[in-house]
Structure 1
Amino acid sequence: MTSPTVVVTGISRFIGARVAGRLAADSRVGRVVGLDVANPSPDFSDLLRDVDQVRADAGAVSSIVADLDAQAVVHLAVVSGPDQQYGGRAAMKEQNVIGTMQLLAACQQAPQLRKLVIRSSTAAYGVSFRDPAVFTEDTEPREVPRGGFARDILDIEAYVRGFRRRRPDVTATVLRFAPFIGAAAHTSLTRYFAQPVVPTVIGRDPRLQFVHVDDALEVLHRAAVEDHPGTFNVAGPGVLTLSQAIRRAGRLGVGVPEPGMSTAAGFTRVFGVGRYGLDQIDLFIHGRVVDTSRLAREFGFVPRSTAAAFDDFLRAHPDGTVLGRDRLAAAERAILDGIRRVRGADRAERHGLEPA
């Protein structure tokens, strides 16, 4: 039996490049083709040395999958946050939802296809005050999520369910990852914990789970070369509360009322740590914990604990210095000014006035 050809989407990003490189080095895999709308960074040249790279948008996927006679597709071209440089939220939805829909349509028309692996997220469960203590793979979201990424994930998984009905001969694996963390991870979450002053919501101390990026890569690799049909939560065992994580990081938490949390995005930009959206804000309010027993049972693999993954991230960011008194006072004023603006806009809306 010949070794399979595997198509990996999203190789211009860290996870996609790493997965493609690992598969290309696996003797069980024949040819690895990396597909992306953008050229990979030169930093990934060594990882992608043995990967055939194709630059194409989702509309070209159908002919590419057919021409390559691919037996497996690993879909990692899913972005978790809008990048204003490349079109913001509209481009994010285009890539996540429309791109996945076009990819699945191509896969449906590929008779030789035998395996499909989809990167998903625990954001599929949403966040709500009515959430259970622990989510299993069969738990339905209590409310429609506010954040764009979570809504995209729900759409993506709905398309995958339709694909499974139409192509029961294909082993389809959906991996719901907890937020990535680790020494090599660079996300809105790691930027949040790397900043010297961390905004939190007064009265909330959510329970959080993470997955080490290296463990995520291992699970993706196994899903691509082994048969694991179904949907799986992927997270490190155990939890950290937000206050524990902040103390562990040697940072200073600054509590703000919940309406002011979104205005704290402006505060974080002042200190050069980027912004975060409703998906992250809701996570910091409600938290999210998932059951991973199905992963351990079916994959025979248990990721390192949430605490161990977080500690690895901290070792890569050893500077625990917090802001001095003057800068901290300026930061607190920035947050309070943002809260006042939000409250002023709310009052104006209630009374039919133009906001000041």
Structure 2
Amino acid sequence: MSESVVSAPRVVMVTGASTFVGGYLVRRLAQRPDIERVIGVDAVPPTKTMHRRMEPAEFIRVDYRSHIFGKIMATNEVDTVVHCSTSVTDNHFPSASTKDAIVFGSMRVFAACQKSETVKRVVMRSSTQVYGSRSRNPALITEDLGGGSAAIGHPRDLLDAEAYARSMARRRTDLDLTILRLAPILGPNIETLLGSLFERPVVPSIVGRDARLQLLHEDDALGALEHAVVAGRPGTYNIAGDGAISMSQAIRLSGRVPLPVVGPAFGPAVAAIRGRGRGQTDRVQLAYLRFGNAFDTTRMRREFGFEPRLSTRQVMEDTARHGRAEPTIGVDSFVGVEQRVASLARRFAGIGSSGRHGWTVDL
């Protein structure tokens, strides 16, 4: 559907309003003078602090599986729905309850949107986890790569939820659908499974392997969702900060100490560092920490029209400087050392190119 056909949002409903992403998005949208009303909904109540932050937006506690959910849409003449209930796994390991929230909750939400006479725009918060993390993944993953039959666990749940959203859009040709696949989110305020690992004094790393990580700052994640609500760019987009860093760089930038272990010991080491039992370690995240991923964000810039404020490196630096945990080793110390090493390397390169020592250095 052409974006010009759908008018600007007037009444916006945000699901998953009790999560960090959902709650803070409600707050941002409620502060916009061009949006009349913002309604946050969730099956669980937000914390008192989150509830205060949502003001002047409304919050309604409702089970998406209830027929009341559709009635709330109709009664309030909701024209835009942002589905953020998928954020439930940001700081919780996937379980039967999170699967129910993501898969069956999404099915109910999109079914209600399909039946609604007023909803004209739907935004879904998905994740780059849908691609999985494997050694054979492309250097830069485009939106066309799907997890397919290889997807398991949480990625499979997200792909199923995306499928429900697209099924809705096929049946409602007058409706705009935007799916944002957000890269792993870090920031000084959000609590995520990945972020909690970098809050530990030491971080396990695999000997002989250095995963590539591409990240997204919490403010940029919210900014991308807000942009989707206001601009109405239908399509599926990777959303990630510019560039990628290695796992070893991420550990240094976070001010932590690496704990090198051999491959088979990596899973138990991560579980031990987190203080969790081995059986509670998520296979999907372990694969990500082993192999990592980097993403093609061309469509994000050219078609979606969004540019994250912080690069991946800056995400790590900002999280370390302003986060909840004190660095084991000062971040500025690491940055200063890296700058001095780079300066020294450039000096050596200059000497080599002059021919005085008969050698050159490739940087």
Is the structural similarity TM-score above 0.5?
yes
Q: Is 1:20 matched with 2:26?
A: yes
Find the counterpart in structure 1 of residue 184 from structure 2: 179
Are 2:147 and 2:156, in contact at CA under 8 Å, matched by a contact in 1?
Answer: no
> Distance in 1 between the 2:290 and 2:149 partners?
15
For the Cα contact (< 8 Å) 1:117–1:173, is it kept in 2? yes
- Contact 1:82–1:92 under 8 Å retained in 2: no
Deviations 1:251-301 (A, max 9, x none): 2222233333322244124499xx751221110111100111111113433
Map 1:21-40 to 2 at 5 A.
21-40=27-46
What is the TM-score of this pair, normalised by structure 2?
0.82
Matches within 5 A, 1:154-169: 154-169=159-174
Closer/same/farther in 2, CA of residues 109 and 214 from structure 1, 3 Å limit: same
Describe the superposition over 1:309-341 as per-residue Cα deviations: whole angstroms up to 9, x where unpaired. 11100102473327xxxxxxxxxxxxxxxxxxx
Q: Which runs of 5+ in 2 are unaligned?
A: 1-6, 330-363
Unaligned runs of 5+ in 1: 323-356
- The 1-side partners of 2:149 and 2:313 are apart by 29
Report if the CA contact (8 A) 1:126-1:143 is conserved: no
2:273 maps to 268
> Given that residues 91 and 192 in structure 2 are in contact (C-alpha distance below 8 angstroms), is that contact kept between their aligned partners in structure 1?
no
Q: 1:218 aligns with which of 223, 239, 249?
A: 223
Which of 51, 75, 84 is the equivalent residue of 2:83? 75
**Cα distance, 1:83–1:189 mapped onto 2, change above 3 Å:** closer
Q: How many residues align?
A: 316
Structure 2: which amino acid aligns with 1:53?
Answer: F
The 1:178/1:2 distance shift into structure 2, 3 A limit, reads closer
1:42 aligns with 2:48: yes
Alignment partner of 2:205: what SS?
strand
Cα RMSD for the two superposed structures: 2.2
Alignment correspondent of 1:320: 327
The one-letter amino acid paired with 1:321 is T
Contact 1:82 1:89 (8 Å CA) reproduced: no
What is aligned with 1:114? 120
Deviation digits for residues 48-106 of structure 1 (CA, Å, limit 9, x no counterpart) = 1111111011112222222222101001011226848xxx6110101010000000110
Deviations 1:139-180 (A, max 9, x none): 23376234x221211111111221121112111000000000
Output the TM-score relative to the length of structure 1: 0.83
Q: Which position in structure 1 is the counterpart of 2:339?
A: none
1:145 aligns with 2:151: yes
Counterparts of 1:114 and 1:284, CA distance in 2: 39
Structure 1's 279 and 23: CA in aligned 2 closer, same or farther, altered over 3 A? Answer: same
Report % sequence identity: 38
